Amino acid sequence: MMTDRSSSPNTPTNAPIFSVGEISGVLKMTVEETFAHVRVRGEISGFKKPASGHMYFTLKDDEAVLNGVCWRGSVARLGITPEDGMEVIATGRLTTYGARSNYQMVVEKMELAGEGALLKLLEDRRRKLATEGLFDETRKRPLPFLPDVIGVVTSPTGAVIRDILHRLEDRFPRHVLLWPVLVQGDKAAEAIAAAVRGFNGLIAGGKIPRPDLLIVARGGGSLEDLWAFNEESVVRAVAESEIPVISAVGHETDTTLVDFAADRRAPTPSAAAEMAVPVRGELLAQVMDDGARIVNAVNRLVQDNRRELAAAARGLPNLGQLLGDASQRLDDWSERFDNSLKSGMDERRREFSSLSGRLTRPDQLLRQARQRLSSEARALNQTAPLLLRQRQSDLARLSQLLESYSYQRVLDRGFALVTDSAQKPVTSVTELSAGDRAQVQFKDGALAVAVTGNKMPGAKPKKPASGKADERQGSLL
């Protein structure tokens, strides 16, 4: 809403007064109405694409800089992906951004400015993809000798598909699957990449046969016309293809990035068909020639073997004579075998009779064993009492000897056995101290005593026992 434009009494002029928002709106309306459709040529710099999907950049030349913006809905329709340093012609409208008091261009379409810019972009992209290894020769795969199914990615209405089909029909008819695509324009690159990936996505043995070979083809044209085959998405799709790819884009002098990524480059679509299949007539002629050569070789081999066999047969002795000699030897050996067998049996029979005569009868052996057992039993009965008496005599003698060594016999001679309170024998006077209790064993009994005398020199001191000694006990010392 406009403010009151009447001048105050203190103002020296009658010029109206605008608010900041009002003047910004007037400027925005003026700029948008005046520059509703413009085409601007300049170099892109400061390119940014945030998560929102919009693109922000500046267009500059030697004299000025113009801010540019491309909203997310228009990004897919640009046709190219902007990069810093790219010279483009942008189509759109001018507007203002009041929050910063600047003007900018809303870009709706963008194209490269001139063939020089295209060539620079093409070379930069080629170097980038080559650095990633997409053009390495080690990635190239051999083409199948005779593919059953050939997939073709091209326009369905151009002369390219007719040339390919005609050339295949002349050389070796094959099953051809056509994936129709745009080969020029903004959406061509996306369609070509989708076609290559679509053929690779087919399942072997499925309802739609999976091609053994792909041909990506287009007729000739300018650099701009062939630009779809230089797009990074198409190059990556061809490089990642599991099915071998022949590129046949343009004429022999035309070169695209797809040619570097493909497994084989053909100068024309017709040449691609020639690379795809051999000539059927030539194969048939070669097969017939090879068959004839094989038959001749086999015949020569058979003849040579027949001659060698005949020569070897002439060197062999008479078969009847060989059989006669062998039969006679067989009869001779048979007679000798019968005689030797009869003689051997007689010899074995005589040896058996001789050995059986020397054998002892089992009942006789049992009688002899029974007699030995009886004799041994009588000897044992006679020897056992004598041995028992001898062992009893030895036991009595050893018992007397053991009794003589008993300490009881020592006590009988007037000695005594002294034990401490733990019933251990006391063998030295140093083991007892004043106040200790002991026991003296005599031959007719034991007497409990208490030690009251002094220790002998060298004895260990011991704490005196508390309490008074029992006067009823005797004293050892």
The answer to whether residues 155 and 252 belong to one domain is yes
Asked if residue 357 belongs to a domain, the reply is no
Structural domain boundaries enclosing 188: 149-277
Asked if residue 406 belongs to a domain, the reply is no
**Which one is predicted more confidently, 168 or 327?**
168
Whole-number pLDDT of residue 12: 59
Q: Which of 257, 151, 155 is nearest to 200 (CA)?
A: 151
The string over 175-211, giving b where at least 16 C-beta atoms fall within 10 Å of a residue's C-beta and e elsewhere, is: ebbbbebebbeeebbbbbbbbbeebbebeeeeeeebb
The answer to whether residues 222 and 167 belong to one domain is yes
The answer to whether residues 65 and 176 belong to one domain is no
**Rounded mean pLDDT, 290-309:** 91
The per-residue pLDDT for range 360-392, each reduced to its tens digit, is: 778 888 888 888 888 888 888 888 888 888 888
pLDDT for residue 270 is more than 60: yes
CATH number of domain containing 196: 3.40.50.10550
The answer to whether residues 203 and 293 belong to one domain is no
Q: Which residues pair with 88 in a beta bridge?
A: 42, 112
Report yes or no: 413 and 407 within 8 Å, Cβ to Cβ.
no
pLDDT for residue 103 is more than 80: yes
Q: Which residues pair with 56 in a beta bridge?
A: 48, 69
The per-residue pLDDT for range 46-75, each reduced to its tens digit, is: 899 898 889 999 998 888 889 999 998 888
**Rounded mean pLDDT, 21-29:** 85
**Rounded mean pLDDT, 460-475:** 50
| Distance from C-alpha of 154 to C-alpha of 166, rounded to nearest angstrom | 15
pTM, two decimal places: 0.47
Q: What is the count of structural domains for the chain? A: 4
Q: Which of 249, 227, 51, 54 is nearest to 152 (CA)?
A: 249
Sequence-ordered list of residues with C-beta below 8 angstroms from that of 89, at least 6 positions apart, any chain: 39, 40, 41, 110, 111, 112, 113
The per-residue pLDDT for range 181-237, each reduced to its tens digit, is: 999 887 889 999 999 999 999 998 888 999 999 999 998 887 778 888 988 999 999
| Distance from C-alpha of 75 to C-alpha of 77, rounded to nearest angstrom | 5
For the chain, what is the mean pLDDT?
83
Parallel, antiparallel or unpaired: strands 65-70 and 55-60? antiparallel
CATH number of domain containing 83: 2.40.50.140
Asked if residue 203 belongs to a domain, the reply is yes
pLDDT for residue 6 is more than 50: no
The answer to whether residues 292 and 261 belong to one domain is no
* Confidence tier at 240 by pLDDT (50, 70, 90): very high
The answer to whether residues 185 and 92 belong to one domain is no
pLDDT for residue 265 is more than 90: yes
pLDDT for residue 24 is more than 80: yes
Select the highest-mean-pLDDT range: 77-86, 242-251, 334-343, 434-443: 242-251
Residue 184, token pair as written in the block: 């020029």
Amino acid 304 reads D
The answer to whether residues 295 and 256 belong to one domain is no
Residue 20, token pair as written in the block: 């900041």
Asked if residue 202 belongs to a domain, the reply is yes
Residue 436, token pair as written in the block: 């200790």
The answer to whether residues 217 and 155 belong to one domain is yes
**Which one is predicted more confidently, 322 or 300?**
300
**Which one is predicted more confidently, 459 or 208?**
208
Whole-number pLDDT of residue 57: 92
**Which one is predicted more confidently, 163 or 349?**
163
Whole-number pLDDT of residue 236: 93
* Confidence tier at 1 by pLDDT (50, 70, 90): very low
Whole-number pLDDT of residue 258: 92
The answer to whether residues 206 and 299 belong to one domain is no
pLDDT for residue 395 is more than 70: yes
pLDDT for residue 7 is more than 70: no
Whole-number pLDDT of residue 448: 84
**Rounded mean pLDDT, 303-319:** 82
Asked if residue 11 belongs to a domain, the reply is no
Residues of the chain above pLDDT 90, percent: 27
**Which one is predicted more confidently, 5 or 439?**
439
pLDDT for residue 474 is more than 80: no
Whole-number pLDDT of residue 277: 92
Whole-number pLDDT of residue 2: 46
Report yes or no: 476 and 419 within 8 Å, Cβ to Cβ.
no
**Rounded mean pLDDT, 329-338:** 81
Between the alpha carbon of residue 151 and those of residues 21, 210, 215, 306, the distances in Å are: 62, 8, 6, 54
Whole-number pLDDT of residue 477: 44
**Rounded mean pLDDT, 236-253:** 90
* Confidence tier at 454 by pLDDT (50, 70, 90): low
The answer to whether residues 182 and 203 belong to one domain is yes
The per-residue pLDDT for range 145-186, each reduced to its tens digit, is: 999 999 999 999 888 999 999 999 989 999 999 999 999 887
The answer to whether residues 189 and 259 belong to one domain is yes
Asked if residue 341 belongs to a domain, the reply is no
The answer to whether residues 169 and 222 belong to one domain is yes
Asked if residue 398 belongs to a domain, the reply is no
**Rounded mean pLDDT, 90-107:** 86
Sequence-ordered list of residues with C-beta below 8 angstroms from that of 324, at least 6 positions apart, any chain: none
Residue 188, token pair as written in the block: 């061509």
Asked if residue 363 belongs to a domain, the reply is no
